[in-house]
Amino acid sequence: MRLPLSSTASNTSFEVAGSVREVGRLGMEFCNSDTVAHDNLVGGGSVTFRSRFPTAPSSITLTPFATSGSFVGNPTVMVPDRDGFAFYSYQNLQPLAATYWFGSYTAVA
């Protein structure tokens, strides 16, 4: 197989066919360096799938591996498409505190 790296193609990912299930990792951490508590700190990120899915995922499940005791809930998945998805979370933090969520995603298309 040859990839046209010298061409004007802007997408060099492999596209898979048929049913797809991918497992990967994601994480986020919040830190309040202020000396007063803060409500609704927002954080987020994005995931790019290893290969382009044939369609947008029908489901994306997040599973925690390690969390701090003060992290509430799981991150929320948004705007999934064939190439990946975004995620975000709102957290409340006490002064000079930190919280984190590290885990995996399972995407099925």
In tens, the pLDDT along 24-40 reads 999 999 999 999 999 89
How does residue 97 score in pLDDT terms, banded at 50, 70 and 90? very high
The predicted model scores a pTM of 0.85
Residue spans of the domains in the chain: they are: 21-108
Distance CA 68, CA 50 (A): 28
Cβ atoms of 89 and 62 within 8 Å: the answer is no
Residue 8 has pLDDT above 80, yes or no: no
- Identify the CATH number of the domain defined by range 21-108: 2.60.40
Residue 72 has pLDDT above 70, yes or no: yes
Mean residue pLDDT across the chain:
91
Poorest-pLDDT segment among 9-23, 48-62, 65-79, 92-106: 9-23
Cβ atoms of 86 and 46 within 8 Å: the answer is yes
